[in-house]
């Protein structure tokens, strides 16, 4: 049975020297970009948390995995295009230098995104919705009923975080102001 590292120092120490250097560099980049973040081991790998989980990283046979959540990958999709990636992770090959500036910008983006999510729930029609639905609408720039009326039900349901149970509440909010979804 594999034993998990109790802290980030122990995690890094468990790898060959060349990999340790990259892991220490990754750690330094993240800590500089997120000096207020709590560093811990989560899911057996180094993790950084501020208002919520920011980023994770891990070492593998041929790469350093960096996990800035799907939004972090999506926001920097073009700049990350030369690296192997999936929905929530990017792989930095062990035989290449880490893209320090890019990693730093991704971490700072995640801090800002995380801070936005930590804000109190909005008032008005959004307050009747689940937090994922609120975030989805606000992320699309929809903060008023008039803005909502510019979209069809299908457009709103296509947003990640908005489910069918939100639609009746949104219809009510629109009707209260004499509006409806776009056809």
For the segment 3-21, what is each residue's pLDDT rounded down to a tens digit? 689 999 999 999 999 999 9
Asked if 175 and 167 count as a contact pair (C-beta separation under 8 A), the reply is no
**CA nearest neighbour of 178 among 145, 153, 154, 150:** 145
Does the reported pTM lie above 0.85? no
> Which regions of the chain are under pLDDT 50?
1
pLDDT of 121: 57
Q: How far is CA 80 from CA 22, 103, 114, 132, in A?
A: 18, 10, 21, 26
pLDDT of 147: 93
pLDDT of 160: 87
pLDDT of 140: 87
pLDDT of 120: 66
What string of DSSP letters covers 101-140? HHHHHHHHHHHHHHHHHHSPPPSGGGGGS-HHHHHHHHHT
Cα 138 to Cα 141: distance, rounded to the nearest angstrom: 5
pLDDT of 1: 38
């Amino acid at each position: 049975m594999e034993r998990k590292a109790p802290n980030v120092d122990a995690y890094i120490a468990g790898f060959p020297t060349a990999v340790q250097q990259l892991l220490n560099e990754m750690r330094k980049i993240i800590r500089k970009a997120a000096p207020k973040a709590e560093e811990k081991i989560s899911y057996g790998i180094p993790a950084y948390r501020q208002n919520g989980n920011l980023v994770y990283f891990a070492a593998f046979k041929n790469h350093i995995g960096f996990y800035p959540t799907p939004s972090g990958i999506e926001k920097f999709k073009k700049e990350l295009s030369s690296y192997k990636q999936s929905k929530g992770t990017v792989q930095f090959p062990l035989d290449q230098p880490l893209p320090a500036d890019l990693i730093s910008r991704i971490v700072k983006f995640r801090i800002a995104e995380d801070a936005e999510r930590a804000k109190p729930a909005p008032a008005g029609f959004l307050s009747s919705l689940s937090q994922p639905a609120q975030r989805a609408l606000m992320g699309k720039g929809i903060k008023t009923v008039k803005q909502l009326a510019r979209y069809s039900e299908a457009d709103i349901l296509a947003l990640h975080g908005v489910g069918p149970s939100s639609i009746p509440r949104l219809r009510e909010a629109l009707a209260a102001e004499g509006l409806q979804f776009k056809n």
